[in-house]
Protein backbone atom coordinates (compact mmCIF):
# COMPACT_ATOMS: atom_id res chain seq x y z
CA UNK A 1 0.00 0.00 0.00
CA UNK A 2 1.18 3.50 -0.79
CA UNK A 3 2.04 5.84 2.05
CA UNK A 4 0.12 9.06 2.55
CA UNK A 5 3.28 11.00 1.69
CA UNK A 6 3.51 9.16 -1.64
CA UNK A 7 -0.16 9.74 -2.40
CA UNK A 8 0.21 13.43 -1.62
CA UNK A 9 3.42 13.70 -3.66
CA UNK A 10 1.65 12.20 -6.68
CA UNK A 11 -1.33 14.52 -6.25
CA UNK A 12 0.92 17.59 -6.07
CA UNK A 13 3.14 16.37 -8.94
CA UNK A 14 0.12 16.17 -11.20
CA UNK A 15 -1.08 19.69 -10.33
CA UNK A 16 1.18 22.19 -12.07
CA UNK A 17 -0.14 25.18 -10.10
CA UNK A 18 0.44 23.54 -6.72
CA UNK A 19 3.84 22.25 -7.81
CA UNK A 20 4.99 25.65 -9.08
CA UNK A 21 3.71 27.43 -5.99
CA UNK A 22 5.54 25.03 -3.68
CA UNK A 23 8.72 25.34 -5.70
CA UNK A 24 8.65 29.14 -5.41
CA UNK A 25 8.01 28.94 -1.67
CA UNK A 26 10.83 26.41 -1.24
CA UNK A 27 13.34 28.69 -2.92
CA UNK A 28 12.92 31.26 -0.18
CA UNK A 29 11.61 29.29 2.78
CA UNK A 30 11.95 25.49 2.72
CA UNK A 31 10.32 25.12 6.14
CA UNK A 32 7.25 26.96 4.92
CA UNK A 33 7.11 24.71 1.85
CA UNK A 34 6.97 21.65 4.11
CA UNK A 35 4.21 23.28 6.14
CA UNK A 36 2.29 24.03 2.93
CA UNK A 37 2.65 20.41 1.79
CA UNK A 38 1.15 19.25 5.09
CA UNK A 39 -1.60 21.88 4.74
CA UNK A 40 -2.47 20.63 1.25
CA UNK A 41 -2.61 17.13 2.71
CA UNK A 42 -5.10 18.23 5.37
CA UNK A 43 -7.23 19.95 2.71
CA UNK A 44 -7.50 16.75 0.66
CA UNK A 45 -7.67 14.45 3.70
CA UNK A 46 -4.23 12.91 3.16
CA UNK A 47 -2.59 13.63 6.48
CA UNK A 48 1.21 13.69 6.64
CA UNK A 49 3.88 15.04 8.93
CA UNK A 50 6.88 17.05 7.79
CA UNK A 51 9.09 14.12 8.74
CA UNK A 52 7.04 11.72 6.60
CA UNK A 53 7.33 14.08 3.64
CA UNK A 54 11.11 14.39 3.98
CA UNK A 55 11.49 10.61 4.43
CA UNK A 56 9.42 9.93 1.34
CA UNK A 57 11.23 12.53 -0.77
CA UNK A 58 14.51 10.80 0.05
CA UNK A 59 13.21 7.74 -1.83
CA UNK A 60 12.11 9.61 -4.96
CA UNK A 61 14.41 9.13 -7.94
CA UNK A 62 13.80 12.47 -9.60
CA UNK A 63 16.55 15.07 -10.09
CA UNK A 64 14.32 18.10 -9.46
CA UNK A 65 12.93 16.58 -6.25
CA UNK A 66 16.43 15.70 -5.03
CA UNK A 67 17.59 19.28 -5.65
CA UNK A 68 14.59 20.63 -3.71
CA UNK A 69 15.29 18.23 -0.85
CA UNK A 70 18.90 19.41 -0.65
CA UNK A 71 17.64 22.99 -0.52
CA UNK A 72 15.05 22.06 2.11
CA UNK A 73 17.63 20.35 4.30
CA UNK A 74 19.78 23.46 4.17
CA UNK A 75 16.88 25.49 5.53
CA UNK A 76 15.68 23.03 8.15
Alpha helices (H) along 1-76: 4-13, 16-28, 30-43, 50-57, 63-75
What's the whole-model pTM score? 0.81
The mean pLDDT value for 50-70 works out to 81
pLDDT attached to residue 1: 41
- How does pLDDT run across 5-19, given as a tens digit for each residue? 999 999 998 999 998
Radius of gyration of the chain (CA): 11
Contact 61, 49 (CB under 8 A): no
Amino acid sequence: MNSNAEKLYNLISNDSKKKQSLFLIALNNPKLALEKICEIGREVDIRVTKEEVVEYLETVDDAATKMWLIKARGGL
